[in-house]
Amino acid sequence: MRCRRRPVPLLLAALFLLAALPARAQRGGLGEGAVVVRDGAVLYDDDHTDERVRELSRGELVVGCTVEFLGEFTYGRFDEDEGRWRVTWVDPERGKWDHGWMDPGDLATFTYRCCKFACTPFEKKGWERCFREAAEAKWAELEKKGSPGRASKSEKPEKAEKTEKTEKAEKAKSTAPGAERALTNADVVALAGAGLGDEAVIAKIRQAPAESLDVSTEAILDLRRKGVSGAVIQAMVERAGARR
């Protein structure tokens, strides 16, 4: 199976294969394949147009395909042009195959051992054993790392999970029957304006079961404009700092 073959005289083809076949294409050498890393990856008909041959899904496989002297195509190396790579795709169930060009960002490359002459990675239906083994190893590596196009199994970091649980617990406490809601800047302004005195307001700030105090620069300036004393604001800053 070849990418595309232009007619050449049989003698010239034989001489080319014997004299010019690169070492990498011999049995025992190494070839290049790739795993598709996202759904909807496009297999283009050409290296520079947007005409599509098909769309590939994450986990599907392609092999590098390159043109040699006299128009002969071989497998096992990616031929690059206009920022795209020439590839061959195979449907392992139906034995159907297509050729085209893909964006390298949609591919995760791997090397495979050339178990067949000319590094051809195909069997009657689908991919040859050595190619499949290398592809499976690459797939396992991508799954472990959490590859592009799919969320990792450990998508949420442990810290984020703890933060989410903490927020839920605090929300549950604040909404429980009889629970006092969190103290806010508006509450402090109201207490200060009621003429209770700084000591009473500060005591409330320190003893409130929960708080949601804003002590940003803008908020502090706003508190001062509303008549809240420096001592009360200091107590607010200390209480807000204790939550960090």
Residue 22 has a pLDDT of 37
Residue 42 has a pLDDT of 95
Residue 25 has a pLDDT of 42
Mean pLDDT taken over the chain: 78
CA atoms within 13 A on the CB side of 137: 12
31 domain-assigned = yes
Smallest CA-to-CA distance from 95 within 69, 130, 124 is with 124
Number of domains in the chain: 2
Q: Which pTM value belongs to this model?
A: 0.50
- Check whether 49 has a pLDDT greater than 60: yes
61 domain-assigned = yes
Q: Which CATH number does the domain housing residue 35 bear?
A: 2.30.30.40
Q: Map residue 60 onto helix, strand or coil.
A: coil
Q: Flag the least confident range among 15-24, 33-42, 98-107.
A: 15-24
152 domain-assigned = no
- How confident is the model over 221-230, as pLDDT tens digits? 989 989 999 9
Residue 58 pLDDT class (50, 70, 90 cuts): very high
In a shared domain, residues 133 and 105: yes
* 3-state per-residue secondary structure call for 167-205: HHHHHHHHHCCCCCCCECHHHHHHHHHCCCCHHHHHHHH
Residue 75 pLDDT class (50, 70, 90 cuts): confident
- How confident is the model over 98-142, as pLDDT tens digits? 889 999 999 999 999 988 777 888 887 788 889 999 999 999 998
Residue 173 has a pLDDT of 52
- Check whether 159 has a pLDDT greater than 50: no
Q: Write phi, then psi, for 38 (nearest 5 degrees).
A: -150, 155
- How confident is the model over 199-223, as pLDDT tens digits? 999 999 999 999 999 989 989 998 9
Percent of the chain with pLDDT over 90: 39
Among 96, 121, 145, the domain-final residue is 145
Domain that holds residue 89: 10-145
Inter-CA distances, 133 with 42, 61, 128, Å: 25, 12, 9
In a shared domain, residues 168 and 112: no
195 domain-assigned = yes
In a shared domain, residues 85 and 187: no
In a shared domain, residues 168 and 73: no
Residue 186 has a pLDDT of 92
Mean pLDDT, rounded, for 178-187: 82
4 domain-assigned = no
- Check whether 144 has a pLDDT greater than 90: no
In a shared domain, residues 75 and 184: no
2 domain-assigned = no
In a shared domain, residues 140 and 162: no
3 domain-assigned = no
Smallest CA-to-CA distance from 5 within 99, 77, 96, 124 is with 99
Residue 122 has a pLDDT of 86
